[in-house]
Amino acid sequence: MKTTAAVLLIAALMAAPVSASAAAPPPTKPVPTGFFSGRWYEIARLPTKSQKDCEGSISQFTGANASGDFNVTQTCRVGSLDGPLKSLAVVGKIMPGADNAKFTLTFYKLVKQEYWVIDRSESLDWAVMATPGGNYAWLLSRKPVMPAGEKATVIAKLKAAGYPVEKLVFPKQPGA
């Protein structure tokens, strides 16, 4: 049964439509290892099919160590903040030689996807994570609510980088 689910997931990921017209801009800022620990709230996303109807989306990073290994538990509520909990545990690895700005996540021990931290605040209060092909992007914040002006500035940067910001989804977060 698990094998069937994994095969279906791989097929869905391969069939996912491309959301952006250009590759993601390369990371320009080194990323402190603190990025890979703690809770990140999803403020906006160019969604994957697996994120359909996800509200209250959170990524909990743990175990970042000197070898670059870490774990992520991604959770959301389906349909509403009171909906059923959906959870996925993945394994991460910081890629060497990229100032910690590039990493991989492995889903179901079969599917490995590369991610880049293409922008972040100096204080690491927010970060923009994207796939290198420019298909998907996420605006993450350490708090469930991001100041409106700061959020607008980051979204304007995404638009300038060629992302279709009109397709962004803004999941509800508790307290927002």
The model's pLDDT over 71-98, given as tens digits with 9 standing for 90+, comes to 999 999 999 999 999 999 999 999 998 8
pTM of the predicted structure, to 2 decimals? 0.85
User: Which residues of the chain are under the pLDDT cut of 50?
Assistant: 1-21
Cβ neighbours of 112 (radius 10 Å): 12
- Cβ-contact 42, 139 below 8 angstroms: yes
DSSP 38: E
Separation between Cα atoms, residue 5 and residue 34, nearest integer Å: 33
Cα separation of 74 and 89, whole Å? 6
Element containing residue 159 per DSSP (H, E): helix 148-160
| Domain range list for the chain | 32-167
Instruction: State the CATH architecture for 32-167.
Output: Beta Barrel (2.40)
Say how far apart CA 58 and CA 77 lie, in whole Å.
10
Query: In whole angstroms, what is the distance from residue 32 CA to residue 100 CA?
Result: 7
Please report the pLDDT score of residue 5 as a whole number.
37
Q: Which long-range contacts (CB under 8 A, 24 or more apart) does 65-68 make?
A: 68/93, 68/94, 68/95, 68/96, 68/100, 68/103
Return the number of other C-beta atoms located less than 10 Å from residue 37's C-beta.
Answer: 14
